[in-house]
Amino acid sequence: MTDDGPAGAVAPAGRRLSGEGRARGLLFEVARRLASMVLTIFGVSIIVFLVLRLLPGNALTSALGVSEGLLTHAQLVALDHYYGIGEPVIQQYGSWLHAILTGNLGVSLQSRTSVASLVGTALPVTFELAIAAMLLGLLIGVLFGVFGALRPGRAVDVTGQGVSVIGLGVPSFVIGTGLVTLLASVFQYFPSSETFASLTSDPWLNIQQIFFPALTLSLGIGAAIMRTTRASVLEVVGQNYVRTARGKGLSRHSVTWKHIFLNAFIPVLTMSGIQLGYLLGGTVIVEQIFVLPGLGRLLVESINGRDFPVVQSVTTIFAAGFVVVNMVVDVLYAAIDPRIRNR
Amino acid sequence: MSVTGLGSAPALPGELDAAVAPVGRRGLVRALWHSPNGRVGLVLVGVVVAAAIAASFGGTPYDPQFQNAAALLQHPTWSHPFGTDQFGRDVLSLVLDGLGVSLEIACLAVLIAGVIGTIGGVVAGFLGRWTSAVIMRVTDMMFAIPAILLALIVVAALGAGWLNSAIAIGVGYIPIFVRVVRGPVLALRESGYVSAGRVLGFSRRRLLFRHILPNVSGILAVQTSLALAWSVLAEASLSFLGLGPPPPTASLGEMVSQAGSLAAIAWWTLAFPSVAIIFAVIGFNLLGDGLRDAIDPRTRKP
């Protein structure tokens, strides 16, 4: 996702190496990517920091909910000093970075609790939601994509195409709102009305509460993955080696998944990586609709309350997660495709 | 393969010849009309834009904010084709008004993203190595923040509002314009006719405005359409979260959010604003796909 130049420069050297040498080349490649990833996250934190400091209003007074007039000048100065507002921007960034690196994410201006504990309770919810949505999306996308491409124009394909039109064109907040209405009015089913149960405390309720938000998110992802899978599989199906595999009398199952799907998988993986950005943005909206106490909800609440320490940390965490996952996708290419691995 | 408009890759140098092959203006419209995507896109965009323009000039059946206490939550009827909401406001008028606001914000956002992104992309592609490296690094970092998240933090910094929504959405889309423009500019800089111009002693400005930019215009047109689709969606998402322009400015996202609690008894309060958003988003996406097909003959179906 970042620069491809040095990666290309490494490849020719790797081609001549074998065994131990290649492992070392791979190690070097991973180290280079890690370094680039850390740099990117560092840059992201600067962008987030700068954008949030452009604010015209005074975060302090809006957060305290008191008009400035009620406070004496000395009190204001003391508070400014406490929150580090009067210092030069670089110094503010420096102390924030230092605090973050030592595991201290600051104190929420609204709830007066540590940002770390807020994030600690919210992160697992969003993580679970994102994983569930991605799995559902892959399931929908890959199944409809593969079987649709194998029987173009038939019922599975037409159904898949229909689902993909809905998934691509209908925003997740419309799907979510519609789904909540449907569940409540037709089935009198309100999984979100009870307080959120974690996976460990009440697994059955937790699955009910996560399933519908995840389904809402997965339609968009699934549609994109389906289109990519379908196109990619259609390309592979016509290849000679597929005909050979069929001619050898291999089982249909083996041909479909080992010969066709694995060869068609790289574009699907790329698309899944791209969809993660959508997924992270989507969790913000879906958590709002289904009242899930995740990072997205925390973010929107803190934006509304101008609670900058929380906004800053949550955004940086979101972006860091996005960067890390993109790197994992890059590494997965090599793990899945021997042609890339042995380059 | 454009799916969300966010995932479209810039043209590779090899693809460039086809991508920049000029199509006459009349030929473009005809090609657009002959591709199924383009035709549906044109029609949807036409309907949406006409409705939005009508609303901007006060062409709504009722005053959108007029609360008729005698007509709360009425079913769609001839006098209120889209029904009325819980305050007795005419949903059709609200939808038209919201569509107008939404398109105004989207256009401004795309203007911001397009101008800044194109300048960034051209500078990164046309000027020296250092400037290019710096711009691309910053773009990479902006890419590392999902666009909607970038928009959210800009709103967090600036506060909610009409102009702030447009700025936030525009900023979110800048890195995509930079990438999409830079690739072709980089390749064009080394192309035969630009080199020839350079040898002839043409100024940089002339090379840029007469020889490079016109050849990027097709790609820009495609990207603008996809960006509009994304901006309408982002605007609706922001106002759905309560971070759009505050009332009384009409907003489709806010209508959907309000309708959430009513939809069980008044489906029309949810359905019509949703359909308006969907029409606009699908319309601009299809128009973008159609433009791509029309400009790039290799993807054009016979």
- Residue-wise pLDDT for A57-104, tens only, equals 455 545 454 445 556 667 666 666 666 666 667 777 777 777 777 777
- Average pLDDT, stretch B127-141? 82
Interface contact flag, B240 A173, Cβ < 8 Å: yes
Interface contact flag, A173 B253, Cβ < 8 Å: yes
Where does the pLDDT of residue B20 fall: very low under 50, low under 70, confident under 90, or very high at 90 and above?
A: very low
Largest Cα–Cα separation, chain B: 77
ω before B184 within 30° of 0 (cis)? no
Confirm or reject contact between A274 and chain B (CB < 8 A): yes
Window A:158-187, CB contacts with B under 8 Å: 168-171, 173-174, 177-178, 180-181, 184-185
Distance from CA of B4 to the nearest CA of A (A): 7
pLDDT above 60: residue B9: no
Residue-level pLDDT at B15: 39
* Region of poorest pLDDT, from A55-59, A300-304, B34-38: A55-59
Distance from CA of A185 to the nearest CA of B (A): 6
User: What's chain A's average pLDDT?
Assistant: 77
Residue-level pLDDT at B87: 76
- Average pLDDT, stretch A292-297? 88
* Region of poorest pLDDT, from A204-213, B6-15, B254-263: B6-15
Where does the pLDDT of residue B110 fall: very low under 50, low under 70, confident under 90, or very high at 90 and above?
A: very high
Residue-level pLDDT at A80: 65
Mutate to test the interface with B, among A39, A45, A51 (most CBs of B within 10 A): A51
Where does the pLDDT of residue B28 fall: very low under 50, low under 70, confident under 90, or very high at 90 and above?
A: confident
- Average pLDDT, stretch A43-53? 80
- Average pLDDT, stretch A236-247? 84
- Strongest mean pLDDT among A297-301, B80-84, B267-271: A297-301
Interface contact flag, B156 A224, Cβ < 8 Å: no
Q: In chain B, what residues touch A170 (CB-CB under 8 Å)?
A: 274, 278
Q: Under a CB-based contact definition with an 8 Å cutoff, are residues A318 and A280 in contact?
A: yes
Interface contact flag, B236 A173, Cβ < 8 Å: yes
pLDDT in tens, B165-190: 899 899 888 988 998 888 888 888 88
Where does the pLDDT of residue A133 fall: very low under 50, low under 70, confident under 90, or very high at 90 and above?
A: very high
Distance from CA of B233 to the nearest CA of A (A): 7
Residue-level pLDDT at A139: 92
- Average pLDDT, stretch A23-49? 80
Query: Closest chain B residue to A43 measured between Cα atoms?
Result: B141
Distance from CA of A338 to the nearest CA of B (A): 25
Residue-level pLDDT at B208: 83
Which of B145, B157, B278 is facing A170, going by the closest CB pair? B278
Interface contact flag, B147 A318, Cβ < 8 Å: no
Q: In chain B, what residues touch A51 (CB-CB under 8 Å)?
A: 153-154, 157
pLDDT above 50: residue B55: yes
pLDDT above 90: residue B113: yes
pLDDT in tens, B234-254: 999 988 888 888 877 788 888
Looking at chain A, the whole-number percentage of residues with pLDDT higher than 70 is: 77
- Average pLDDT, stretch A279-292? 86
Interface contact flag, A274 B7, Cβ < 8 Å: yes
> CA of A120: how far to CAs of A41, B145, B149, in Å?
20, 21, 20
Residue-level pLDDT at A4: 39
Which of B141, B148, B270 is facing A43, going by the closest CB pair? B141
Residue-level pLDDT at A2: 38
pLDDT above 70: residue B26: no
